[in-house]
Amino acid sequence: MRQINHAEAVHRARVLISQMTLTEKSGQISQAFAAPFMPPLDDAVAAGRLGSLLFVSDPARINHYQRLAVEQSRLGIPLLFGFDVIHGLRTIFPVPLGLAASFDPDLVEQAQAAAAAEARASGIHWAFAPMVDIARDPRWGRIVEGAGEDPHLGSVMAAAQVRGLQGPELGTPGRIIAGPKHFLGYGAAPGGRDYEPVSLSDAEIRNVYLPPFVAAIRAGAGNIMSAYMDINQQPAVAAKWLLDDLLRGELGFTGFVVSDANGVQNQIAQHFAVDEADAALRALNAGNDMEMAMGPNAFARLPALVEQGQLPMATLDLAVERVLVAKIRMGLFESPFVDEAAAEPVLADPKHRALAQVAAERSLVLLHNQGNCLPLTPGVARRVAVIGPLADSVPDTLGPWVFVPDKRETVTVARGIAEHLAGRATVEVQPGVQLHRMMPSGLEAFGPRLKPWTAAEAEAHFDAAVDAARGADQTILVLGEAQSQSGERASASDLTLPGGQLELLDAVLATGKPVVLVLLAGRPLDISALVPRVPAILMSWYPGTRGGTAVARTLFGDINPGGKLPVTWPRHVGQVPIHYGRSRTHTPDRADSLYHDGPSTPLYPFGHGLSYTSFQIEPPVLDKAVLIPGEHVAITTRITNIGSHSGDEVVQLYVHQRAGRAMRPARELKAFQRVSLEPGESREVRFVIDTEMLSYWHSGERRVLLDPGQFDLWIGTDAHADLHLTLIVA
Ligand code: BGC
């Protein structure tokens, strides 16, 4: 199919707009939720009162709605189908926080390209992804959906996901529109409480929360989703300074902006807008082009507002134009329908499953491995117990934001271990305890329901798990948080293992049998009390369709873990927020004693992750001691695998500005490279440092600056990297 460029699409859109009625225009920029439990939408689609639907993923249903739009609506404008393709559609990849832990943008790009292929083959045109919100508070449930705390890692992962989902340009065959979200600052939720008002300084916006969006826009993202919460006392959906001035004016975004689900209507509940008409007017004027509605849509009020002279026709037309341009560039007018018979082979593509396994393997982070307890040798333990509520749970292997996976394909940790050890050991699986949210979320309709055990059942399950450990030569505990305890509306005030998992762990440890721990969770949990008692801990996030295979291969040494933490891991919830990119303060030597009642250092730094082998990194060298603005310098080091396993290390470069017009973070990640090395092999790693890397937004001067003077550079394998050099910026 011929690719349609932006200018041509604009021209075609304007021709269409000149033929549209007011109702068709407001309809074109209205998106409705097409879930089975919502009122039917057929009439509205046929009447041209809807331009987009979300939540349909079945090709036959997509074609059904598309036929109504194309064959029955007056102008035959096709619908745009959007879906939360967050970490896969049928083949589920690790959750985005896990993908970020791979520190492997090429892999992440491939994963999202596979997700896009499955979506497009199903008739979906647009993903409400990637979520690129920087998140520095693990209490916030949605930390799982992003790349963690760091602006640089977040930017690299944002761009990789956009490239994967969308391809080199909008309309690339087999790809879909990427919609980075939520613009802007949603991840700064105070107390980690979802949807809470956010206050952000200009400097935090520009230097921390904006960079991933800049990267996503540079990668060509065709859509942006505005955010729910209020930022600096105005709902983000109504913030013209954000959407129109910053996003479009300064960043040059030319795609369309969608509100978050019900975000336009929410302004009434937020006590910001008076009524639907007011809400619609504010959202459109601020720069949203499409309303994602969950029920009645406020944008239906737009025609009356135009007629009453409260809304210029040109404002409405511009939003319609941006939506039509996306449809035209995606080729929907040429081929609106999906080939229903062609979907299944793409959805069932074994290459996607294989990629999901590699992605899971590369996302695993070995947090702790006392006395090289891991890897285990298959067959040494003849009786293996796999214990824990997450051990054999399909939804908890896949994680949140998963709607149409192939459950039979999903390999849980227990299944992965049983398959891996087949013929070499017997495997007994026991859940021990059940995990439930304490508070309802309102989103339960989308997730699996667990029938609660009676007290007698609970006791029997607990005892059976402890008996299994007692009878085993090796126990593998699989603990963490259930998928319903992670994601939207799943913030946590306590980071210790929920449910009766600590009691289960105590009882299993009391058997005296060897134990290792696999953690499944969407955030760092408080495991301080566990570390001294459990010799090995493998952080597995929610590893996806082939997660159990990846975990088993890692536990038993076929895979050497090389993932790294994309977030600083606190010792205790009271330390939160504890990201590494804070400034030095006037007492930098007291950084580890900022509390009188315990250490203020994290349990594990950002970037941490162990390996079954060891690496040596040589002191780096700079090719020039002075950086002339506009030029660049290179820093080079050499890394050698000095152990006996092949393995991966992520070489990381951190910088710090010694003095200048602002206080800059004590450290900032600026570059990284994941390298794979055989035992004895060594590789040169080279990073180019340019002036953009050392520049920052100055809130007083309201512009990006480069301060001359001395900069510290560190090379290493986590945020505590200690191979140090200095660089002078002239
Ligand atoms: C979330 C969005 C999501 C949308 C549609 C909202 O509740 O905040 O991230 O894309 O629902 O499911």
pLDDT digits (tens, 9 = 90+) for 590-630: 988 999 999 999 999 999 999 999 999 999 999 999 999 99
Q: Of ligand 1's atoms, which has the minimum distance to the CA of residue 145?
A: 9
In a mutational test of the pocket of ligand 1, which residue from 52, 53, 84 has the highest number of ligand atoms less than 8 Å from its CB? 84
Task: Determine the average pLDDT of the residues in 567-577.
Answer: 97
Ligand 1: residue whose CA is nearest its atom 4: 261
Provide, rounded to the nearest whole percent, the portion of the chain with pLDDT above 70: 100
Is 71 exposed, middle or buried (CB count within 10 Å of its CB: 0-12, 13-18, 19+)? exposed
User: Is 80 exceeded by the pLDDT of residue 577?
Assistant: yes
Q: How far is the CA of 34 from the centre of ligand 1 (A)?
A: 14
Look at residue 676 in the predicted model and tell me its pLDDT: 98
pLDDT tens sequence across 80-92: 999 999 999 999 9
User: Is 90 exceeded by the pLDDT of residue 38?
Assistant: no
Question: Would you place residue 442 in the very low, low, confident or very high pLDDT band (cuts 50, 70, 90)?
Answer: confident
Provide, rounded to the nearest whole percent, the portion of the chain with pLDDT above 90: 96
Report yes or no: 478 and 386 within 8 Å, Cβ to Cβ.
yes
User: Is 90 exceeded by the pLDDT of residue 246?
Assistant: yes
List of residues 6+ apart from 590 with CB closer than 8 A: none
Of 9, 32, 13, the closest CA to residue 75 belongs to 13
Q: Of ligand 1's atoms, which has the minimum distance to the CA of residue 179?
A: 10
User: Is 70 exceeded by the pLDDT of residue 474?
Assistant: yes
Ligand 1: residue whose CA is nearest its atom 8: 260
Crossing angle for the helix pair 340-347 and 59-67, to the nearest 10 degrees: 150
Whole-structure pTM value: 0.98
Two structure tokens written together for 476: 């593998």
User: Is 90 exceeded by the pLDDT of residue 54?
Assistant: yes
Q: How far is the CA of 616 from the centre of ligand 1 (A)?
A: 44
Q: How far is the CA of 344 from the centre of ligand 1 (A)?
A: 26
Q: Of ligand 1's atoms, which has the minimum distance to the CA of residue 186?
A: 8
**Residue 449 and residue 403: Cα distance in Å, rounded?**
14
Task: Determine the average pLDDT of the residues in 330-349.
Answer: 98
**Residue 121 and residue 312: Cα distance in Å, rounded?**
39
Look at residue 487 in the predicted model and tell me its pLDDT: 97
Beta bridge partners of residue 219, listed in sequence order: none
In a mutational test of the pocket of ligand 1, which residue from 140, 182, 225, 226 has the highest number of ligand atoms less than 8 Å from its CB? 225
Residue 368 is inside which H or E element, if any? strand 365-369
Q: How far is the CA of 261 from the centre of ligand 1 (A)?
A: 6
**Residue 640 and residue 677: Cα distance in Å, rounded?**
7
- Residues written for the chain: 730
User: Is 90 exceeded by the pLDDT of residue 3?
Assistant: no
Ligand 1, CB cutoff 6 Å, lining residues: 84, 128, 181, 260-261, 488
pLDDT tens sequence across 268-302: 999 999 999 999 999 999 999 999 999 899 999 99
Question: Would you place residue 106 in the very low, low, confident or very high pLDDT band (cuts 50, 70, 90)?
Answer: very high
Look at residue 35 in the predicted model and tell me its pLDDT: 84
In a mutational test of the pocket of ligand 1, which residue from 292, 401, 443 has the highest number of ligand atoms less than 8 Å from its CB? 292
Ligand 1: residue whose CA is nearest its atom 7: 261
Residue 230 is inside which H or E element, if any? strand 230-231
User: Is 80 exceeded by the pLDDT of residue 1?
Assistant: no
Two structure tokens written together for 203: 């400097």
User: Is 80 exceeded by the pLDDT of residue 446?
Assistant: no
Give the side-chain half-sphere CA count within 13 A for 494: 7
Residue 480 is inside which H or E element, if any? strand 474-480
Look at residue 37 in the predicted model and tell me its pLDDT: 82
Contacts by 653-656 with C-beta closer than 8 Å and gap 24+? 653/687, 653/689, 653/713, 653/714, 653/715, 653/721, 654/713, 654/714, 654/715, 654/716, 654/719, 654/721, 655/689, 655/693, 655/694, 655/711, 655/712, 655/713, 655/714, 656/711, 656/712, 656/714
Look at residue 450 in the predicted model and tell me its pLDDT: 86
Q: Of ligand 1's atoms, which has the minimum distance to the CA of residue 443?
A: 7
Active site residues: 260
Of 285, 282, 274, 287, the closest CA to residue 312 belongs to 285
Task: Determine the average pLDDT of the residues in 371-398.
Answer: 97
- Give the three-state DSSP class for 87: coil
Look at residue 254 in the predicted model and tell me its pLDDT: 97
User: Is 90 exceeded by the pLDDT of residue 449?
Assistant: no
pLDDT tens sequence across 452-462: 999 999 999 99
**Residue 551 and residue 137: Cα distance in Å, rounded?**
26
Q: Of ligand 1's atoms, which has the minimum distance to the CA of residue 55?
A: 12
HEC-encoded secondary structure of 168-216: CCCCCCCCCEECCECECCHHHCHHHCCCCCECCCHHHHHHHHCHHHHHH
Look at residue 445 in the predicted model and tell me its pLDDT: 75
Task: Determine the average pLDDT of the residues in 632-637.
Answer: 98
Look at residue 686 in the predicted model and tell me its pLDDT: 98
Report yes or no: 125 and 332 within 8 Å, Cβ to Cβ.
yes
